[in-house]
Structure 1
Amino acid sequence: MTNEIMDRNNLMRNWFNNDSWMNNFPSIFDNNFPEDSTLKTDIKETDKDYEVHVDMPDFNKKDIDINYENDVLTISGHRDSFNDHNDKNGDMIMSERSSGRYMRQYHLPAVDSKSIKATYDKGVLEVNLPKLEKKVESGHHIDID
């Protein structure tokens, strides 16, 4: 299923990239859809925990919200990364910096939600989600009635 979705996405991307009208579309509009508009993430899983690293440059720690509910980690934040730099003549030619609300969700099951820890340093949010301990049941004898 995932491969089918990826194939469809690649097909659409190729169609847009090869379409002559899209290739001639004025480049001044390209910056309205920044490629870096999502929170880039690395997730590592060990036997004991999940480690989530999210690039969140220029966010203030107080503007980041982390929530874990129903096996879903939600990370959101608000960023105002720039002021209006136009002068009285409106001489700004281009602005690639973005502001606004960002959110990502990750399905990470069987987490001890009371032990989740997070740190934010140099634009990277790190969240450690310890897994619940699996109870290993030793076998037991069952009588037949």
Structure 2
Amino acid sequence: MFGMIPFGREENSLWNYLDNMERSLFTGFGDMSQFRCDIQDKGDHYLLEAELPGFQKEDISLDLAGDSLVITARHSSETEDKQKDYVRRERKFGSFSRSFDISGIDAGAIRAAYNNGILEVTLPKRAETAPAARSIAIE
């Protein structure tokens, strides 16, 4: 009685268990068109770290559009890969992109480095400008 699960499948074999584990691993990440990022406040700047494993530096672009920073990474499949006889192919090819609001950032001083699959973008904070002190004449 306890083994009866409505609309479920019995896990009687190791192969069923492994198939379900594999399915949950590859479908449990949600939207794969985006990549994971961490943003840290370092006082005078923010540090954005984006996970982009498997990309070459040339495959990644950072573009400024107004108050937005757009990070795009592109995988392309070579023509020789299309001629191989795959039994199963899980590696994705295509474009991955994210946009970030950079209002309050000194856009001219943004720096980026890519090492070991991690893109590090340094986003210096714009210096706060205090209103200039002045005297007001009374009429």
**TM-score normalised by structure 1 residue count:** 0.66
Question: Does structure 2 conserve the Cα–Cα contact (< 8 Å) formed by 1:115 and 1:129?
Answer: yes
- 1:98 equivalent in alignment to 2:92: yes
Deviation at 1:35, TM superposition (A): 1.8
Normalising by structure 2, we get a TM-score of 0.68
How many angstroms apart in 2 are the aligned matches of 1:77 and 1:140?
Answer: 50
Determine the structure 1 residue equivalent to 2:40. Answer: 44
DSSP 3-state at the match of 2:58: helix
Deviating more after overlay: 76-85 vs 60-69: 76-85
Identity of aligned residues (%): 25
Work out the CA distance in 2 between the residues paired with 1:124 and 1:39.
Answer: 11
Aligned-partner SS, 1:114: helix
Tell me the residue number matched to 1:132: 126
Aligned residue number for residue 108 of structure 2: 114
Select 2:60's aligned residue among 64, 68, 71. 64
Name the one with the larger helix percent.
1
User: Which whole-Å CA distance do the structure 1 matches of 2:93 and 2:28 have between them?
Assistant: 11
When the two chains are superposed, the root-mean-square deviation of aligned CA atoms in Å is 3.2
- Cα distance, 1:35–1:85 mapped onto 2, change above 3 Å: farther
| Per-residue CA distance 1:13-65 (angstroms, 9 max, x = gap) | xxxxxxx87x77xx798788562612100112344212110000000100100
Structure 1: gaps of 5 or more residues: 1-19
Unaligned residue ranges in structure 2 (runs of 5+): 1-5, 10-19
Task: Name the aligned partner's letter for residue 127 of structure 1.
Answer: V
AA aligned to 1:111 is I
Whichever of the two has the greater Rg, that structure is 2
Distance 1:57 1:74 in 2: 18
Q: Which letter does structure 1 place at the counterpart of 2:53?
A: P
Count of residue pairs brought into register by the alignment: 120
SS in 1 for 2:50: strand
Q: Could you tell me how far apart the structure 1 residues matched to 2:83 and 2:23 are? A: 19
Report 1:7-26 matches (<5 A): none
